Amino acid sequence: MIPAELAKKIRYIQIYTSKAVNDVLAGEYHSVFKGQGMEFDEVREYQPGDEVRSIDWNVTARTGIPHVKRFEEERELTVTFLVDLSASGEFGSRSKLKNEVAAEICALLAFSAIKNNDKVGLVVFTDEVELFVPPAKGTSHVLRLIRNLLEFKPRQARTNIAGAIDFLAKVTNKRSVVFLVSDFLEADCERSMRILGKRHDVIAISVTDPVEVKMPNVGLVELEDAETGELIQIDTGSAAFRKQYEALGADQAGSLRTQFRSMGIDQIEVMTNRDYLIDLVKFFRGRERRMA
C-alpha cells in the first residue's frame, strides 16, 4: 500500500504535470527532440516534385507506373533521467527541498516523453548508483518512476557524478537523451561529462536554493554540511561576509556555465523559489531557435 501522504503527492504531480504538458510543453518537447533517423512508411505513385532518388524501381517495373518510397522520421527516443539525490538535495529554505523540485521536473519531462511515445528510464545516485529502472513506455511506468523518486531514501550521503555516468555508459548502448539533474556542488566530473556528451544528447539541470546564492541576515548561525557532517559557525549579520558569500556563489555558478559550454552541453538553471516550467519552456524555445 502507498502511504496516503505519498499517494496525494503523486496525484498532485500527475495532475499538475499533465496539464503543463498538454497546455505548454509537449509541442516544445517534440520540436526539440527529433527522432534518431528515418524509417520506411509506404510506397506511393510518383508526383511532380518528388526526388528521383526516392523512386522504388522494383515496384515501378512491376506496375509500369513510377512509384516512390516514402519515409517518416523515426520518432521513438530513449530518455534517461540521471538524478542526484544525495544529502545536499535535502535542503530547502522555501516550501520545497531541492530533491522535491528535481523529482517534479523529472515527472514533467517524463510525461512529455511518453506523450511522444518515447521510452523513459531512471538512474538515481549518491556516491554510488542506488536505483536503476530500465527504459519503458506508458503512464503507469512514469508513475512508478515518480513514486521511486519521491519515496527514495538514500543509503549514502555524498555525491559521485562521474560514477553514475560510468554506470550509464555500461547499461546504455543506444544514443539517448540524458537529463542529468543535480545541484552540482560536487563537480569533479568533467572528463566523464565530455565522454557522455559525445555519446548522448545531454542536458544538465542544475537545481539551486536561493540561500545558496544570497545569504540572508539572520545573525549568528551554525551550518552543517549535509554530505560530510562538518559544522561551521558564521555571522550572517556581517555585510562583508554576505558580500563575499554572494560573490563566491556567483563565481561557482559562472564557472559551471562555462564548463558546460566548453563541453557542448546544454544547461537549464532552476531555482527552488521560481516556477521551473518557465525555465523549461525558455530552454526548449531557445534550443529550437538554435536548431532552425
* CATH assignment at residue 95: 3.40.50.410
Q: Would you state the pLDDT for residue 88? A: 92
56/198 same-domain check: no
Inform me whether the pLDDT recorded for 122 exceeds 90. Answer: yes
Inform me whether the pLDDT recorded for 1 exceeds 80. Answer: no
- Rounded to 10°, the helix 190-199/239-263 angle is 40
51/129 same-domain check: no
65/95 same-domain check: no
Q: How far is CA 16 from CA 99, 115, 120, in A?
A: 18, 15, 19
| Confidence (pTM) | 0.83
Pairing outcome for strands 266-271 and 201-208: parallel
225/178 same-domain check: yes
Q: Which of 20, 47, 74 is the last residue of a domain?
A: 74
Read off the pLDDT band of 187 (50, 70, 90): low
25/44 same-domain check: no
146/59 same-domain check: no
Mean per-residue pLDDT for 276-288? 91
Q: Which three cell numbers stand for residue 93?
A: 529554505
Q: Would you state the pLDDT for residue 29? A: 86
Q: Would you state the pLDDT for residue 12? A: 82
* Range of weakest confidence among 86-90, 185-189, 212-216: 185-189
Read off the pLDDT band of 74 (50, 70, 90): low
99/83 same-domain check: yes
Which position has the higher pLDDT, 14 or 83? Answer: 83
55/199 same-domain check: no
What does the mean pLDDT of the chain come to? 88
CA–CA separation, 32 and 71 (whole Å):
20
Nearest residue to 83 via CA among 66, 98, 70, 73: 98
21/82 same-domain check: yes
Read off the pLDDT band of 155 (50, 70, 90): very high
Pairing outcome for strands 129-136 and 119-125: antiparallel
Q: Would you state the pLDDT for residue 124? A: 97
Helix ranges (DSSP H) in the chain: 4-20, 26-32, 57-63, 98-115, 139-150, 161-171, 190-199, 239-263, 276-291
Residues of the domain holding 51: 37-74
The neighbouring-strand residues paired with 73 are 38
48/181 same-domain check: no
Read off the pLDDT band of 41 (50, 70, 90): low
Q: How many domains does the chain have?
A: 2
55/98 same-domain check: no
132/51 same-domain check: no
Q: Which helix (H) or strand (E) holds 77?
A: none
Q: How far is CA 147 from CA 10, 78, 131, 134, 140, in A?
A: 7, 20, 12, 15, 11
Q: Would you state the pLDDT for residue 34? A: 64
